[in-house]
Amino acid sequence: MKNYKTIAVTGGIGSGKSIALSIIAGAGYKTLSCDCITADLYNKRKIKLKLKKLFPTAVKGFFNPVIDKIELSKIVFNDSEKLELLTSTITPLVMEEVLSRAKALNQTVFVEVPLLFERKYENKFDNVLVITRPLKDRIDSVKTRSNLTEEQIKARINAQVNYEQIDLSPYTVIMNDGDKTALKEKVLDAVKKLTEE
């Protein structure tokens, strides 16, 4: 039996889950990010070659393959079947690595998991912290930090679960509807409760 907790931090694109994770890390807790682990995997040649077979126009070269992330995004966010193909190929590898790193840390760890509910991974964690946010604020946030158009942002939002329609009652939920100071207060309060349970 393990003597540590794994707590997923999730929410839709632009909800503020990355900021929440940095607040948690700043408070001294161990954290992992699925996005960072995905980036690590994308740097491995065998993963690049696997993606080249699936999406030949999005990976250039063979001996030193390079993933064109803009092209890959264009392909998958315009075709739900291709998005499912990418997600079902990469996400299990990411989750395997997450759980392996959490086990190696052997202490409570908070893990940012963007596709937690979409891939039905919620039961792999001891607790779940969900960050929600008004839709307009989410879109504005993503616009500020990326070169995506509103249409592209909405395509990504539509590819995720609708947090207003799923039952979040079993989980700890934070509404990110204020400034960073307000979010920090809510996150640290939630973290205290989650780690004391």
Residue 82 lies in a domain: no
Residue 132 lies in a domain: yes
Residue 64, helix vs strand vs coil: coil
* Confidence at 77, pLDDT banded by 50, 70, 90: confident
Residue 53 lies in a domain: no
Largest CA distance in the chain: 51
> Which CATH number fits the domain that encloses residue 145?
3.40.50.300
* Confidence at 24, pLDDT banded by 50, 70, 90: very high
The mean pLDDT value for 6-29 works out to 96
Residue 168 lies in a domain: yes
Which residues have C-beta within 8 Å of that of residue 40, sequence separation ≥ 6? 97
The per-residue pLDDT of the chain, averaged, comes to 93
DSSP, res 124: G
Q: Domain range for residue 170?
A: 6-39+96-192
Q: Is there a contact between 17 and 9 (Cβ–Cβ < 8 Å)?
A: yes
* Confidence at 62, pLDDT banded by 50, 70, 90: confident
Instruction: Check residue 60 and give its pLDDT.
Output: 92
Number of domains making up the chain: 1
Residue 66 lies in a domain: no
Residue 188 lies in a domain: yes
Residue 122 lies in a domain: yes
Residue 158 lies in a domain: yes
